[in-house]
Amino acid sequence: MMMSDTEEHKGIRLKAGQSAKSRQSEHSAELGEQVIVQLKTSYDKLLHEPLPDHLLQLLNELKCQEDRS
Amino acid sequence: MSSEAVRQGLVSYLPNLRAFGIALCGDADRADDLVQETMLKAWNSLDSFQEGTNLRAWLFTILRNTYFSECRRRRREVPDQDGDYVSRLSVPPPQQGRMDAQDLMKALGQLTEDQREALILVGAEGFAYEEAAAICNCAVGTIKSRVNRARNRLVEILGIDAVQDFGPEPLTEAVLLRTSNSF
């Protein structure tokens, strides 16, 4: 079926619009993924921070409590 | 599970619980108190832990419930606690579009509490959506939606326009490039 010039132009415009939207969506997804990578890196730094003495001491106390019971 | 096995679990998950606490409340001292309370509660509730279930998820559930109970109590005691919290942690977009770990952790403080915990549990701790949903006591779809919104909101808060914005700042980048070229 032949398309009229107007219909054809509409189709091209629609495709161009979809493509821009799709590119924007891909771009957002890429940035979102990078934010997660960055978050993991920052979180890993927290994981490797030395633990405060009072928490370790509490664990030992719990252990002693367990031994006594 | 024996109490010794739980104790071993507490020891091995202690850094994770502490990191989760810090990321959740934005304050290391408060996070240490949360972890301490979590440990005591876990120790005193060993009978309620079902053998064969996920110890890590159980401990995280105790910590987040403790945190939210404390938040509710603080709100009753100090009006506008949330407003003060957000303003304390607010961060302007990083200069030259570059960002560092501190910027990111501060930006986390500007997310809603629901979004923040979902993003940390799934994005940083690596819990499956199903596990995170169980910890937060909500539907899996809700967690997926919160993670997605949180991710987009972080990009917005940090003013990130391009992937290059995540790289090292220009001077470091130049040094790295020069170093890699010399080998």
Please name each of the domains of chain B with its CATH number: 1-79 (1.10.1740.10), 93-167 (1.10.10.10)
Q: In terms of CA atoms, which chain A residue is nearest residue B3?
A: A66
Nearest to B123 by CA among A40, A41, A48: A40
Residue whose tokens read 């934010």: A35
* Cα gap B146→B136, rounded to integer Å: 11
> What is the ipTM score, two decimals?
0.75
* Contacts of residue A3, Cβ cutoff 8 Å, sequence gap at least 6: A11
Per residue in B52-64, pLDDT (tens digit) is: 789 999 999 999 9
Name the most confidently modeled range: B68-77, B110-119, B168-177. B110-119
What's the mean per-residue pLDDT of chain A? Answer: 77
User: Which chain A residues are closer than 8 Å to B36 by Cβ?
Assistant: 54-55, 58
Rg of chain B over Cα atoms, rounded to whole angstroms, equals 19
* Percentage of chain B lying above the pLDDT 90 cut: 49
| Residue A54 host element (H or E) | helix A53-68
Name the most confidently modeled range: A15-29, B53-67, B148-162. B53-67
pLDDT level of residue B32 (50, 70, 90 thresholds): very high
What's the mean per-residue pLDDT of chain B? Answer: 81
Q: What is the model's pLDDT at position B164?
A: 64
C-beta of residue B9 within 8 angstroms of C-beta of residue B18:
no
Q: What is the model's pLDDT at position B90?
A: 44
Instruction: Point out the residue among B10, B11, B104 whose CB comes nearest to the CB of A38.
Output: B104
Q: Is pLDDT of B3 > 80?
A: no
Q: In whole angstroms, how far apart are CA B29 and each of A30, A50, B12? A: 35, 13, 20
Q: What is the model's pLDDT at position A24?
A: 77
Q: Residue B112, class by beta-carbon neighbours within 10 Å (0-12 exposed, 13-18 middle, 19+ buried)?
A: middle
The whole-number average pLDDT for the span A35-50 is 90
* Cα gap B167→B100, rounded to integer Å: 9
Rg of chain A over Cα atoms, rounded to whole angstroms, equals 29
Q: In terms of CA atoms, which chain A residue is nearest residue B108?
A: A39
User: Which chain B residues are closer than 8 Å to A36 by Cβ?
Assistant: 123, 151
Q: What is the model's pLDDT at position A8?
A: 59
The residues on B that touch A, with CB distances below 8 Å, are: 3-4, 7, 10-11, 14-16, 18-19, 22-23, 32, 35-36, 39-40, 43, 99, 101, 104-105, 108, 119-120, 123-125, 148, 151-152, 154-155, 158, 160, 162-163, 166
Per residue in B61-104, pLDDT (tens digit) is: 999 999 999 988 888 876 555 554 444 444 444 444 445 667 78
Q: Which comes out higher in pLDDT, residue A26 or B167?
A: A26
Q: In whole angstroms, how far apart are CA B60 and each of A2, A10, A67, B66? A: 63, 54, 26, 10
Q: In terms of CA atoms, which chain B residue is nearest residue A30?
A: B163
Q: Is pLDDT of A49 > 60?
A: yes
Interface contact flag, A35 B158, Cβ < 8 Å: yes
Q: What is the model's pLDDT at position B46?
A: 83
